[in-house]
Homo-oligomer: A and B are copies of this chain.
Amino acid sequence: MNAPLPNDLLPHHERRPVPAVMLQALRDRFGERCSTATAVREQHGRDESPFPVTPPEVVVFCESTEEVAFVVSQAAAHAVPVIPFGVGSSLEGHLLAVQGGVSIDLSRMTAVVRVNAEDLTVTVQAGVTREQLNREVKDLGLFFPIDPGANASLGGMAATRASGTNAVRYGTMRENVLGLTVVTASGEVIHTGTRAKKSSAGYDLTRLFVGSEGTLGVMTEVTLKLYPLPEAVSAAVCHFATVDGAVNATIQTIQMGVPIARCELLDANAVRYVNAQSKLGLREQPLLLMEFHGSDAGVKEQAELVQAITAELGGEDFQWASTPEERTRLWTARHKAYFAGMQANPGCRTVTTDTCVPISHLAEILQSSIDEADACGLPYYIVGHVGDGNFHLAYLVKEGDAEQRAVAEQLSMQMVQRAIALEGTCTGEHGIGLHKMGFLVDEAGAGAVAVMREIKRALDPKNIMNPGKIFAL
């Protein structure tokens, strides 16, 4: 087992300077949208991971595919690293400029290029966030379901193959990206996919770029599937004496083919934190937070079935969130669990895991991880997209306390080992970034990682696209 990269220690890389002639070319073209100000650079040299800030040499705020192509062409000509930047919400060190170079900020590319309501598709620029997209298509009776905790950009979500609470029903970015506009490492613009729902035409470049974390090109436009807003939505919470009970109810629900839209676990600690932050007054014991989408009758039927399953498996106090306001309050609290955990533990940093296992192994891995976490004495909580077998165990460690951090990292590593042994993955939705490069080799094997590396070398021979991420070259 490869250890994860300790998260105060960046791997050593030579920084590759931006030559004066290139800097001048960027300044000439972008004026004030090309910045070398320390504050701007530092803001672009970090993400939500605990790695130390590692700024790029220059930040360019692009507003079009053509502008991105110009920057990448310059970078290619001078063999300078390029790091695409959305809203900075990634969690594994994806955005750190370990070799220096140019951060391409895409956050001003916020045009919804085209909505095709009749085809349930939309094309957006990469800087559009998931919340903006949903605001813009709501009046058409449509929505986009993928919802990582942060209000991430759709380019960033595609780059990390993100998912969230709705994935159990609607899939992840893997299933929901139809096509891309990509600036390749040579600065050329290509289009992948079409608006057709399926295709057997050649290699699936769309899904190669989705999840490639900026290492193969810069995605500037994303074509996505949309869904009709369900006729009826209903949410419920159900408490359990143990995490085990909640997981067993989930497994039964999935195995019976109930098309549940969301099925989230919060352990007692997570409930306590979100209660404190959002004043929810939930019973502080493990709970499932569920949502059902469909017709009026369909939602009722699903919910009754799940209510019967939970009752049989020790669920207590099954309660409906009957109004949209109540639902929104619950889901907002769930999305803020990460911040609630930090708020409840002032001066702490979060060390979080992101494993995903076949659902039959979920109870087992959760129980052993809970036993270890309880024994170590650090504050922790668990939230999980348990319908998919994906969960996050988050330790809260005192900022600067090396011993606590070492304990948390060690336990996290053991959990990943366990997940991989159980035919699972080291990351369900956050990506590899810097932190999990060792785990990727454990999971995929040296042979598969060698194939990834060959693809990278072929498509980015100068290693300028977000170098040093996913695997060492």
Identify the A interface with B (CB < 8 A).
Answer: 116, 118-121, 160-163, 167, 171-172, 174-175, 184, 188-192, 194-205, 207-208, 210-212, 216, 227-228, 230, 251, 254-257, 259, 295, 297-298, 301, 354, 356-360, 388-390, 423-432, 436, 439-440, 443-445, 447-449, 451-452, 454-455, 457-459, 470-471
Distance A254 CA – B118 CA, assembled complex (angstroms): 9
Apart from A198-B390, A203-B452, what 14 extra A-B contacts exist at CB < 8 Å?
Answer: A118-B255, A161-B200, A163-B198, A167-B198, A189-B447, A194-B443, A196-B357, A196-B390, A196-B425, A197-B359, A201-B431, A202-B432, A202-B440, A297-B301
Q: Which residues on the B side are within 8 Å of A432 (C-beta)?
A: 200-202
Please give the distance in Å from A54's CB to the nearest CB on chain B. Answer: 22
Please give the distance in Å from A154's CB to the nearest CB on chain B. Answer: 15
Q: Which residues on the B side are within 8 Å of A360 (C-beta)?
A: 116, 118-119
Please give the distance in Å from A426's CB to the nearest CB on chain B. Answer: 6
Q: Which of B190, B191, B471 contacts A202 (CB 8 A)?
A: B471
Q: Which residues on the B side are within 8 Å of A440 (C-beta)?
A: 201-202
Distance A440 CA – B167 CA, assembled complex (angstroms): 32
Please give the distance in Å from A134's CB to the nearest CB on chain B. Answer: 16
Cβ B191 vs Cβ A448 within 8 A: yes
Please give the distance in Å from A329's CB to the nearest CB on chain B. Answer: 26
Q: Which of B298, B356, B359, B443 contacts A298 (CB 8 A)?
A: B298
Q: Which residues on the B side are within 8 Å of A259 (C-beta)?
A: 259
Q: Which residues on the B side are within 8 Å of A357 (C-beta)?
A: 196
Distance A295 CA – B303 CA, assembled complex (angstroms): 13
Q: Which residues on the B side are within 8 Å of A161 (C-beta)?
A: 198-200, 204
Q: Which residues on the B side are within 8 Å of A190 (C-beta)?
A: 445, 447-448, 451
Cβ B208 vs Cβ A228 within 8 A: no
Distance A452 CA – B429 CA, assembled complex (angstroms): 26
Most buried by B among A199, A205, A297, A428: A199
Please give the distance in Å from A78's CB to the nearest CB on chain B. Answer: 22
Cβ B356 vs Cβ A198 within 8 A: yes
Distance A427 CA – B196 CA, assembled complex (angstroms): 10
Distance A430 CA – B205 CA, assembled complex (angstroms): 18
**Chain A to chain B contacts (Cβ below 8 Å), 21 pairs:** A116-B360, A118-B251, A119-B359, A161-B204, A174-B207, A191-B447, A195-B424, A197-B358, A198-B429, A200-B428, A201-B431, A201-B443, A202-B432, A202-B449, A202-B471, A203-B208, A204-B211, A205-B452, A228-B257, A454-B459, A455-B458
Please give the distance in Å from A175's CB to the nearest CB on chain B. Answer: 6
Q: Which residues on the B side are within 8 Å of A254 (C-beta)?
A: 120
Distance A198 CA – B174 CA, assembled complex (angstroms): 9
Distance A386 CA – B343 CA, assembled complex (angstroms): 52
Please give the distance in Å from A160's CB to the nearest CB on chain B. Answer: 6
Q: Which residues on the B side are within 8 Å of A171 (C-beta)?
A: 175
Most buried by B among A189, A204, A230: A204
Cβ A444 vs Cβ B191 within 8 A: yes
Cβ A188 vs Cβ B356 within 8 A: no
Cβ A425 vs Cβ B194 within 8 A: yes
Q: Which residues on the B side are within 8 Å of A389 (C-beta)?
A: 196-197
Q: Which residues on the B side are within 8 Å of A297 (C-beta)?
A: 297-298, 301
With A175-B175, A423-B196, A429-B198 as known contacts, state yes or no: A451 contacts B356, CB within 8 Å.
no
Please give the distance in Å from A382's CB to the nearest CB on chain B. Answer: 17
* A230 nearest in chain B by CB position: B257
Q: Which of B255, B295, B390 contacts A120 (CB 8 A)?
A: B255
* A223 nearest in chain B by CB position: B423
Cβ A356 vs Cβ B199 within 8 A: yes
Please give the distance in Å from A299's CB to the nearest CB on chain B. Answer: 11
Q: Which residues on the B side are within 8 Å of A194 (C-beta)?
A: 423-425, 443
Please give the distance in Å from A102's CB to the nearest CB on chain B. Answer: 22
With A195-B423, A358-B121, A447-B189 as known contacts, state yes or no: A200 contacts B430, CB within 8 Å.
yes
Cβ B208 vs Cβ A204 within 8 A: yes
Cβ B447 vs Cβ A199 within 8 A: no
